[in-house]
Amino acid sequence: MSKGSIIITLIRILFGAMFMAHGISKLQMGLSNVAGWFNSIGLPGQLGYVVAFLELIGGVLLIAGLATRYISIAYIILMAGAIISTKLPMGLLGDGKAPGFELELAYMLIALFLTVEPHKGWGLDRLFGRTANSTN
């Protein structure tokens, strides 16, 4: 496997670990609290449960390299929703009181990359899909 494949694998694993940590954090603060916060910003509280489990389960799947393309697409949508629903008024770098959407934008770009290149690293996707050397 090439150096590029190793780097892609590391990106996918660390990206999954970051989302898994976000999901664990939401579980630790209590899903009812997460739902309450979602309600307080004008979103359905049930969406907080969906986001928490998407972050946790999606993170685990990314670490394993399974369903990378689909989880990454879901994360692009999730980050776009976070930017539109809460971060856009703060601007790219924040307003001095709250952070901006630069992190969400970076996460979207990583997820976009993993959407385009899901089989080029080590992971379970390679077992169930085309290999990195196959042609379109």
**DSSP codes joined into one string, 49-97:** HHHHHHHHHHHHHHHHTSSHHHHHHHHHHHHHHHIIIIIGGG-SS--SS
pLDDT for position 66? 92
- pLDDT greater at residue 127 or residue 38: 38
* Torsion angle defined by CA atoms of residues 109, 111, 117 and 120, in that order, rounded to the nearest 10 degrees: 110
Task: Report if residue 11 sits inside a domain.
Answer: yes
pLDDT digits (tens, 9 = 90+) for 42-91: 999 999 999 999 999 999 999 999 999 999 999 999 999 999 999 998 98
What's the structural domain count of the chain? 1
Task: Report if residue 57 sits inside a domain.
Answer: yes
pLDDT for position 135? 40
pLDDT digits (tens, 9 = 90+) for 83-133: 999 999 898 999 888 899 999 999 999 999 999 876 677 888 777 765 444
Task: Report if residue 49 sits inside a domain.
Answer: yes
- CA–CA dist 52, 44 (Å, integer): 14
Task: Report if residue 127 sits inside a domain.
Answer: no
Task: Report if residue 133 sits inside a domain.
Answer: no
- CA–CA dist 65, 6 (Å, integer): 13
Task: Report if residue 126 sits inside a domain.
Answer: no
pLDDT digits (tens, 9 = 90+) for 17-35: 999 999 999 999 999 999 9
For the chain, first and last CA: distance in Å? Answer: 20
Residue type, 15: F
| pTM assigned to the model | 0.85
pLDDT for position 127? 77
Task: Report if residue 123 sits inside a domain.
Answer: no
Task: Report if residue 105 sits inside a domain.
Answer: yes
Containing domain of residue 67, as a range?
Answer: 3-118
